[in-house]
Each structure stands twice: as C-alpha cells, then as structure tokens.
C-alpha cells in the first residue's frame, strides 16, 4: 500500500508522535510511507495528482479545527472518504463536527485497541517506536526535534473541568518502561540530546521511583551530558507536575535527574499557598529552573493573573529561582476557534494580554524590572493597561511620553460612571458606534479619539485586521473623530 501521513498546516512545537508511530506500523508491513505538512499548492508540487491507498491525518487543538478541515479536503482529492483516517485531540473531542462538516468518521483516543484503523495488529501502534526519519521529508522544523519523545505513564487521576485528558486517556497507567523504548530509538535514529515526556500526571504514579531509576539509567541523571561530552542533557515533563502530589520524597527524586525546567502548575490564585510550598520544596533540593502555565480566562479575574505573575517574581527573589511563566488562555474543549471570552473578561482585555506578551513570544521572564514594565507595578496599573489603546501597548516606546501619557491623564479624570461607559463602548475590541452615540459625552468623546486615531487612512492594513467593521462605519467614525 501507498500511505500518506498528513499534518495540517499549523505551527506546532512537537512532531506528530501518532503519525510517527503509524509510519513504523506500516513500514513494518512493507508499505510505502510519505509524510507531508503544508498547503495544497506545495502538495501539488511534490506529489501532483498521486492517489493513495490510505491517508492518515493528525489533529491537535480544537481551535485549529479549520486547518484540519483544509487537510481533510486536500486528502479527499487523492483518495476515497473511507480511506481517510483522522485522529488526535480535536478528532476525539469534535467527532460529530467532522461527520457533519466533511462526512469523515474520526478515530477516538489512543491507537491501543484492535480495529481502530481496521488492520491486524493495530492495537500495538501506541506502544511502537516513532519513526523519526519522516521528519526529514518536510521543510518545517519542529523546535523540539532533538529529543526522545514518549511517556512513562498515561492518563491522569484528576478530572479537571478545563482538561481533555480524561476523554483522551481515560484509564491511568502507572508505568511504561522507558528503557527499551529509548534504546530502540537510539539504535535506529541515533542519540538524542533530551528526554521529553508527555505524561499528564507522572507524580500520581505508584511506580514513580522506578520511573526515576529508568531515567537515570538512560543517562539523564543530574548534570548529564551527551556521549561526546559537549552538550547538557535535559529531562522535561512537558505537561507539568501536579503540585498536589509533590512531596519531600518525590522532590528529592526529581532533583536526581537532569530536569529542566520543573513545570509546576499554578492554575488558580486559590492554590497560592500550596504552590509557594512546592516551589520552595524544589528549591530546597537544588532545582531552580522552573516553569508553569498560568491559566486565565476560565473562572478567574484579570487581577488573579497579575497576582500569580507577581508571586513568581517574589519567589525568584526570595529563593533565587528562575521561574518562566506562560499565560495560557482557557478555551472550551469544544471550541473551534479562540474567540471564547470568560465571564470575568472582555475581548479588549484578552487582546491586551496578547499585546503585552507579544514581545516575549508568550513568556513572562523571571526579572522584576522587565515584568513590572510589561504588566504594571500594581494591580490598578495592570487593570488600567488592559483598557489602553492597542497600539499604545504594542508600541510603548513610541507613544509613552506623548499619547500614552495623555490617555492616562484623561482616563484618570473620568468619573466611575464615565469609565464604565467607556469600557462598554470598547469592550469588544472595537468601537461600538451606537453605544458611543448614547453615552459619548465630551470627556468620553475626547478619550475615544485615541482609539479612533488608529483608524486613519494611513493605517488601512492595521484597521482591517483589528477593526473588521471599519469600512461600513467609516464615515460615522470620521465624524466622531472630528
């Protein structure tokens, strides 16, 4: 058979592990396997009108749904519907959407049960060695391309309402041997620098000590280097460590391997005391490079995000740790785009967060001066920043001493009711003309001009991107500016 492995044309950090294992499965049966990631035009240049016996398509986040649909529509041109196999996160969570929109049945969950792709032995695919060689067939370079990628456990014992793991991996597996897995990858594809483990809750394992032993025996003990002695090796439990299950013994075990960073979740401000204790515990055992995702736009408020950022800065100063944080916007499990707005947030505030972290590629670093500069020196300053015109946030140096200062002064001079009216007018990250006409007194008219100046004729591309309703309201907006 001629097999095509197809990954949708989105940006992703990690190689498609599922497709890599499917490649191993089909090559072991003597089939010809090709891998593609890109647009239909690029596909045409490489493959022309070639037909395939089977096409496998991986999916990732649900908000990349439209990208996966593009890949499916491409596949439909080159094989029959029943020969297209779509799996992964979005395929599991949005199976009914795929049936309705493109008439494709998807594969649910892991490839660990007989018959999911209709071939004998397919229940073993999930435990197979991934085929790293397919990554050489495409121009796209995954940032994490020099690591053994795998699992020491599967599933999670928790049932967090914002998490898809209970659906994707419903049964918790306490131990998967890494030794044979890593050794086979090394034998077939050469030594890899790092060990990337995608476990969703490794600390819940009853055999955690055995997992640490395996990692050390594979050459990833503390301060480990590659066999030529030139590069430091690192272990990354990429999905994070559950602070609730981190204790003295496990912290000591983690300190014995080349873990960098140690990712400890800090999803809610209510977890502050617990989180502080666990960071202190890791520092006690010499693990100073830490990281976490800061979930926001769920049941939290903007000030809760700021508090968590400030806590990390204080911990860095007190413990000499280096905590790098990644604010992560909550999106419902069935969302097909990123437009969801939490009950305590607005579109304008969410967009402002993206503006703030744009310069650092989504990372909040460990140094106080930079973080305070980016997010404000107080909760009040931070919350005010979220309502500032977008361009003033994005290009702070350019506007700081003139327009931004003027905006701040005008904002401070507004009454409580006027501030509320202003926020109602701009909360959807555009100017609501009808609300402005109702509530736009002299002071609001003046401050609104800061937002509308971004609509000048010289900023057409910017206008169309961030103000999609601009053209039809253009005349009204020019009148308001004047």
- Give the residue-averaged pLDDT of 335-351: 96
42-75 pLDDT, tens digit each:
999 999 999 999 999 999 999 999 999 999 999 9
Q: E strands within 419-467?
A: none
Helical ranges in 359-404 per DSSP H: 368-375, 379-385, 390-394, 396-399
122-176 pLDDT, tens digit each:
999 999 999 999 999 999 999 988 999 999 999 999 988 888 999 999 999 999 9
Identify the pLDDT of residue 394.
87
Rounded to 10°, the helix 442-452/416-426 angle is 40
Q: Is the pLDDT of residue 466 over 50?
A: no
Identify the pLDDT of residue 475.
37
The tokens of 144 are what? Answer: 């994490």
389-420 pLDDT, tens digit each:
998 998 888 888 888 999 999 999 999 999 99
Q: Taking the domains of the chain in order of start, what are their residue ranges?
A: 2-127, 141-385, 394-481
Q: How far apart are the first and last CA of the chain?
A: 68
DSSP 3-state of 190: coil
C-alpha to C-alpha distances, 410 to 388, 419, 422, 445, nearest whole angstrom: 11, 10, 12, 11
The answer to whether the CB of 211 falls within 8 A of the CB of 153 is: yes
d(CA 254, CA 277): 16
Q: Return left, alpha or beta for 103; rule: phi > 0 is left, psi -120 to 50 is alpha, else beta.
A: left
Among 132-136, 203-207, 376-380, 439-443, which stretch is predicted with the lowest mean pLDDT? Answer: 439-443
Rounded to the nearest 5 degrees, what angle is found at the Cα of 122, between the Cα atoms of 117 and 128?
125
265-291 pLDDT, tens digit each:
899 999 999 999 999 999 999 999 999
Identify the pLDDT of residue 161.
87
Fold classification of 2-127 is Rossmann fold (3.40.50)
Identify the pLDDT of residue 453.
58
d(CA 190, CA 94): 37
The answer to whether the CB of 147 falls within 8 A of the CB of 157 is: no
Q: Which residue has the tokens 């204080």?
A: 314
The answer to whether the CB of 162 falls within 8 A of the CB of 116 is: no
Within 8 A by CB and 6+ apart from 40, the residues are 70, 74
Identify the pLDDT of residue 418.
96
Class of domain 141-385: alpha beta
Q: Is the pLDDT of residue 360 over 80?
A: no
- Count Cβ neighbours within 10 Å for each residue of 363-393 and write b for 16 or more, e otherwise: ebbbeeeebbebbbeeeeebbbbbbbbbbbb
d(CA 117, CA 56): 10
The model's pTM: 0.89
C-alpha to C-alpha distances, 5 to 24, 84, 103, 134, nearest whole angstrom: 12, 10, 19, 9
Within 13 A of 367's CA, how many CA atoms are on the CB side? 4
Q: What is the mean pLDDT of the chain?
A: 92
The answer to whether the CB of 161 falls within 8 A of the CB of 198 is: no
Helix (H) or strand (E) holding 322: strand 322-329
Burial class (CB in 10 A: 0-12, 13-18, 19+), 124: middle
The answer to whether the CB of 215 falls within 8 A of the CB of 235 is: yes
Helix (H) or strand (E) holding 276: helix 272-284
Within 8 A by CB and 6+ apart from 19, the residues are 5, 7, 35, 56, 58, 134
Task: Name the strands in the sheet holding 322-329, side by side, starting at the edge strand that comes first in the sequence.
Answer: 262-263, 289-296, 322-329
d(CA 286, CA 283): 5
């Amino acid at each position: 058979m001629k097999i095509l492995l197809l990954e949708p044309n989105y940006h992703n950090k990690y190689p498609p592990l599922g497709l890599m294992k499917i490649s191993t499965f089909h090559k072991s049966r003597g089939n010809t396997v090709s891998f593609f990631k890109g647009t239909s035009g690029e596909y045409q240049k490489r493959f022309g009108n070639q037909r395939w016996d089977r096409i496998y398509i991986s999916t990732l986040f649900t908000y990349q749904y439209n990208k996966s649909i593009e890949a499916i529509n491409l596949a439909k041109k080159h094989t029959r519907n029943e020969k297209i196999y779509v799996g992964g996160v979005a395929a599991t969570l949005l199976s009914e959407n795929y049936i309705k929109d493109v008439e494709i049945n998807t594969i649910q969950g892991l490839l660990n049960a007989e018959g999911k792709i209709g071939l004998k032995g397919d229940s073993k695919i999930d435990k197979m060695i991934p085929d790293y060689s397919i990554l050489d067939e495409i121009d796209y370079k995954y940032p994490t391309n020099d690591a053994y990628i795998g699992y020491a456990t599967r599933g999670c014992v928790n049932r967090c309402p914002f998490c898809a793991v209970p659906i994707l991996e419903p049964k918790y597996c306490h131990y998967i041997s890494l030794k044979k897995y890593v050794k086979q990858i090394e034998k077939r594809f050469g030594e890899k620098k790092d060990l990337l483990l995608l476990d969703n809750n490794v600390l819940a394992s009853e055999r955690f000590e055995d997992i640490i032993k395996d990692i050390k025996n594979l050459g990833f003990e503390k301060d480990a280097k590659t066999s030529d002695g030139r590069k430091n090796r690192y272990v990354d439990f990429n999905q994070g460590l559950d602070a609730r299950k981190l204790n003295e013994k496990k912290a000591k075990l983690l300190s014995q391997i080349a873990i960098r960073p140690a990712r400890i979740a800090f999803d809610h401000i209510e977890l502050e005391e617990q989180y502080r204790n666990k960071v202190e515990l890791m520092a006690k055992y010499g693990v100073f490079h830490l990281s976490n995702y800061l979930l926001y736009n769920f049941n939290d408020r903007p000030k809760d995000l700021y508090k968590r950022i400030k806590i990390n800065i204080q911990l860095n100063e007190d413990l000499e740790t280096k905590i790098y944080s990644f604010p992560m916007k909550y999106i419902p499990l069935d969302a097909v785009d990123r437009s969801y707005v939490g009950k305590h947030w607005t579109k304008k505030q969410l967009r402002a967060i993206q503006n703030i972290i744009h310069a650092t590629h989504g990372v909040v670093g460990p140094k106080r001066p930079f973080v305070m500069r980016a997010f404000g020196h107080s909760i009040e300053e931070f919350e005010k920043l979220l309502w500032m015109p977008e361009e003033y946030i994005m290009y702070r140096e350019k506007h700081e001493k003139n327009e931004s200062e003027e905006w701040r002064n005008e904002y401070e001079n507004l009454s409580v009711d006027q501030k509320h009216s202003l926020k109602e007018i701009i909360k959807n990250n555009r100017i609501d003309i009808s609300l402005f006409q109702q509530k736009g007194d002299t002071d609001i008219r003046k401050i609104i001009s800061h937002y509308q100046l971004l609509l000048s004729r010289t900023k057409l591309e910017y206008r169309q991107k961030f103000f999609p309703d601009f053209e039809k309201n253009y005349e009204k907006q020019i009148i308001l500016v004047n």
